[in-house]
Amino acid sequence: MPAAKPDAKAVWAELPVLPAGELVPLVQGWEAAGVEGVWAPQIFGAPFTVLAAAAAVTSRIKLGTGIALAFTRSPLETACSAIDLDHISDGRAVLGLGSSAESQIEGSFGMPYGKPLAHMREIVGQVREVIARGHTGELARLEGEYHSLDLSHFRLVRPARRSAIPIYLPAVFEKACEQAGALADGLLGHPLWTTGWLRDRVGQSVQAGLDRAGRSRSAIDINLMMFTVINPDRAEAISDARANIAFYTQSPQYLRYFSEIGFGTEAKAIQAAFAAQDYEAMAKACSDDMVSAITIVGSADEVLAQVAERAALADSITPVVPQFGIAPDKAAHYRQRIAEVFYG
């Protein structure tokens, strides 16, 4: 049965790392239901592994890194990983690349962050060059501010399956939306976005990027990722999503965003609690209003109505279960509810 798509929008799913006995029936069931594609996030481990496993047991569904951390590996490694996934999947790879938070890239991974927009632009260009011409021996050197690649002795064993693999860029702020409009094949909307932020900031920023690059709106797919908890008990739904929103609030570079959507006080308290490693205080500082402004919560009908409003700008949607602070059995339950409501 085709997926149930609000306003005929394509529906994607988020694929977590799971044991094979759970992963295989899950992704095969999604493909049978007509899901357009799956995103595998990078929290720490690279997302190419779980997508390769999914590729081996499916034949149609698209396989996206949603997202791979662009600054934690060489652009050559990123390009080759995407090429390998595209071969394994017979041309179904989608490369989502994101900058993440400076504290995670420089702290946890020990890699340089730099100026994220310029850094990302350089990586996208180099990745595209390797995919298109890595088999020809013509690349020689790819010089950049962040990455200088000597490819004079590099050659792919065989050409990439496609000369271009779709690249999606995520965004929180306006400049990143504009860069996606100018540069990318797709924009993967951040699940922290609220309906108001989408309405007031995202569309015009994407259009500015399209205009700057001389591209039409059809050149980019806007895929909106949304934290979604389908539960008629609204209080329980908010409680189940609270730790996840608190986790995503910990980065100081997002403080401007939370201030502009009306939750600057909560964000400052959450960041102070995180600095003190007081995780209970982080959750307590995250108000019900903050959780419900970001997370789509409620009964199936309430969730569908909220998604329809929020996704007016989007071409495709990805309802996702909160990733942090939720028990595995409850996460599995909420994944099943999303499947029942959105996948037919």
pLDDT confidence of residue 101: 86
- pTM, full prediction: 0.94
Amino acid letter, 162: R
- Those residues whose C-beta lies under 8 Å from the C-beta of residue 198, and which sit 6 or more positions away, are 189, 224, 310, 312, 313
Average pLDDT, the chain: 95
Tokens of 55: 């590729």
Lowest mean pLDDT among 2-16, 116-130, 190-204, 208-222: 2-16
Tokens of 9: 């929008």
- The string of DSSP codes covering 18-65 is --HHHHHHHHHHHHHTT--EEEE--SSS-THHHHHHHHHT-SSSEEEE
pLDDT confidence of residue 2: 39
CB burial readout 94-115, b (16+ within 10 A) else e? bbbbbbbbbebbeeeeeeebbe
More confident residue, 7 or 107: 107
Tokens of 40: 């595998």
pLDDT confidence of residue 171: 96
- Among residues 247, 244, 239, the alpha carbon closest in space to that of 226 is found at 244
Record: fold of 6-229+301-342 = TIM Barrel (3.20.20)
pLDDT confidence of residue 43: 84
Q: Is the pLDDT of residue 42 over 50?
A: yes
- Among residues 282, 307, 293, the alpha carbon closest in space to that of 258 is found at 293
- Among residues 211, 156, 213, 223, the alpha carbon closest in space to that of 186 is found at 223
pLDDT confidence of residue 7: 58
Strands (E), the chain: 10-14, 37-40, 62-69, 93-98, 140-142, 149-151, 167-171, 186-189, 221-230, 296-298, 316-320
Q: Is the pLDDT of residue 4 over 50?
A: no
- Report the share of the chain in percent with pLDDT over 70: 98
Lowest mean pLDDT among 5-9, 99-103, 108-112, 169-173: 5-9
- The per-residue pLDDT for range 233-252, each reduced to its tens digit, is 999 999 999 999 999 999 89
90: burial class by Cβ within 10 Å (0-12, 13-18, 19+)? exposed
Averaged pLDDT, 64-76: 97
- The per-residue pLDDT for range 303-314, each reduced to its tens digit, is 999 999 999 989
Instruction: Report DSSP state, residue 214.
Output: T
Lowest mean pLDDT among 6-15, 84-93, 94-103, 290-299: 6-15
pLDDT confidence of residue 18: 92
- The per-residue pLDDT for range 165-184, each reduced to its tens digit, is 999 999 999 999 999 999 99
